[in-house]
Structure 1
Amino acid sequence: MNDITGEQKILAIIAHLGYLLGGAGFIIAPLIIFILKKGDPFVYDHARQALISHLAVLVLSLAISFLCFLLIGILLLPVLAVVWIGLVITSVIAAIKALNGELYRYPFIQEIVDKI
């Protein structure tokens, strides 16, 4: 993977840091890159990692929000904050790895990623 271009690195970084686009950008950016760059193993792998990680956080956030709505999950709000902080930290690490032309594996989701 020594011949990684600047465009490939930028696309991989955008996939990881899509949440900076606001709104649903944290799902839409890696999804678009994932769909359009299937022929590019470097970008595809980064987009796949980011997409699965972001979807996992979204599902967890929705579940906790629903529980909070029912007044059961109020105590889970700190857990949700830790999950989002973890996403920010791991996606910044992934973006740095992409900038260096390296692959990155998000923790805790590899079994799901390997199936896709």
Structure 2
Amino acid sequence: MSDFDNVPAAGNAPSDQRTMALAAHLLGIFTGFIGALIIWLINKDDASKSFVTDQSKEALNFQITIAIAMFVCIILTFVVIGAILMPIVGLLSLIFSIIAAVKANNGELYRYPFALRLIK
């Protein structure tokens, strides 16, 4: 089964779905995984909102991955390397969230280059 099954083709997503997907990706910058989780929970049972469901699930998986990476950085601060890695992880989160938001707003399906796929 492909990651893109039952998802509208690129550019075919309605404007309201693109906006919700944009919000799911951008909320990760400010709320961590909570914003994407709320958007996913609201839309997951509605088959007509497959684009929002797919992109909010992708944002949720990425933000969970970032949260795990930050937790590891906090633990590693005891040996100093965590203090160096923490801003790098934060910067990567910011950059990839903005890229994903722009792609989602254009109606394109986006997959983060590194994310644990915990929510299927």
TM-score after normalising by structure 1: 0.81
- Give yes or no for the alignment of 1:83 onto 2:89: yes
SS in 1 for 2:32: helix
Cross-structure match for 1:49: 58
Q: 1:13 touches 1:99 (CA, 8 Å); kept in 2?
A: yes
Q: Deviations over 1:62-116 (max 9, x none)?
A: 1221332xx22x223222211211111111111111111000000122xx32861
| Structure 1: runs of 5 or more not aligned | none
Letter in 2 for 1:60: A
Query: 5+ residue gaps in structure 2?
Result: 1-8
AA aligned to 2:19 is I
Of 89, 92, 97 in structure 1, the residue corresponding to residue 98 of structure 2 is 92
1:16 aligns with 2:28: no
Q: Is the 8 A contact 1:17 1:26 kept in 2?
A: no
Identical-pair percentage: 31
Task: Count residues in correspondence.
Answer: 108
RMSD over aligned CA atoms reads 1.8
Do the aligned residues in 1 keep the contact of 2:18 with 2:52 (CA within 8 Å)? Answer: yes
Q: Is the 1:4–1:101 contact (alpha carbons within 8 Å) kept by the matching residues of 2? A: yes
Asked if 1:113 is matched to 2:117, the reply is yes
User: Higher relative CO (CA 8 A, sep ≥ 6), structure 1 or 2?
Assistant: 2
